[in-house]
Amino acid sequence: MRRPAPQSLAEIRHPGPKAADRRPFVPCAAEAVSFKIASDRPLLEALGHWAEAESIDSAILNLGGVALAPFDYVMPDRAVDDRHAAWYSDTRSCEKARLEEAVAVLGWRDGGWFAHIHAFWHEGGQKRLGHLLPDTLTLASTSTLTGYGLKGARFEAAFDPETEFTLFRVKETGSRQSELPRNALITTLAPFEDLHHSVESLAATLGTPAYEILGLGSFAGAAFLDTPPMTGLISEILLGPGAGSPKGRGLSIPVRCVDLDGNHHQGTVVAGQAPTLVTCELLIRAEDPSP
């Protein structure tokens, strides 16, 4: 039996004590990567082998254009108990799909590689946006993946007392960090932290007005500059192409979202009106200087 959906931010209550650090971050080196994965290979296994071969601690990858064999996914939904603020839908299956936009956060969980993936695709003429279950993913054709490999920091799953979910947290990975240029940072936002304000504040630590952002997460509703607001307060999101402050022209964060009723939203978030529901996992990377 699922609880009724919250109708206001005041009705969203996470069960545990609030984390003291609402925007934890770790500086790191982010290097552009591009590599191929063969068809009929489990995606998570392939990503793990690639990361180890390249001495990558973590990664944020673009899976747009990747064709998948049958896979499973879940959608945002109401809580199934009296503690959590939200939950996932029952598991759904897709026969096959070519992902149109997708972000994968590659990190560590229970002693092995793990990936948190949000993706947008069409299935039977219908829009889909969901949280892909990484252990079910196999490539239907050879694909080239791009993104950033991280050194000096990684995403590592741990129990979060505030939300009582196991979530990716950010962690330093040892002495290599001091030997590499820190051109980026990774962060995980706490509940109710505004995405736009958080990115502005964190990006200032990079010492440049020009930067890009990659990532995914969840919103408790949102307002957009160019489209109607998302009034549903349980959702999942992925950041769209061009998110950041290109050439220092000011921060713009385009996103795709789906709420618990399956309504799709796409737009550029309004500063101060995009609160995090559970967390947002982000890479903020200083833009390469012009030649």
Indicate the pLDDT class of residue 290, thresholds 50, 70 and 90. low
Rounded distance between C-alpha atoms, residue 185 and residue 181, angstroms: 11
Instruction: Give mean pLDDT, residues 200-219.
Output: 97
Averaged pLDDT for residues 87-100: 97
**The pLDDT of residue 26:** 97
Domain ranges of the chain: 9-286
**Local structure of residue 160 (DSSP, 8 states):** E
The two beta strands, 67-68 and 58-62, are unpaired
Taking the complete model, does pTM exceed 0.85, yes or no?
A: yes
Residues 60, 214 contacting (CB under 8 angstroms)? yes
| pLDDT above 80: residue 155 | yes
Topology (CATH) of 9-286: 60s Ribosomal Protein L30; Chain: A; (3.30.1330)
Distance CA 32, CA 59 (A): 10
CA distance 140 to 142: 7
Output the six-digit token pair for 275. Answer: 């609160």
Mean pLDDT rounded to a whole number for the chain: 95
Q: Quickly state the pLDDT bin for 291 (edges 50, 70, 90).
A: low
pLDDT digits (tens, 9 = 90+) for 164-206: 999 999 999 975 545 778 899 999 999 999 999 999 999 999 9
- Summarize pLDDT for 43-84 with one digit per residue, the tens: 999 999 999 999 999 999 999 999 999 999 999 999 999 999
The residue with tokens 């040892």 is: 174
Mean pLDDT, range 102-106, rounded to an integer: 98
With a CB cutoff of 8 Å and minimum separation 6, the contacts of 175 are none
Beta bridge partners of 168: 157
State the pLDDT confidence band at 154, using cuts at 50, 70 and 90.
very high
User: Is the pLDDT at 39 greater than 90, yes or no?
Assistant: yes
What's residue 288's pLDDT?
Answer: 81
Tens digit of pLDDT for each residue in 218-244? 999 999 999 999 999 999 999 999 999
Distance CA 255, CA 213 (A): 11
Cα–Cα distance, 144 to 157 (Å, whole number): 27
Higher pLDDT, 174 or 139: 139
129, 120 contact by CB (below 8 A) = yes
Structure tokens at 50: 């690639």
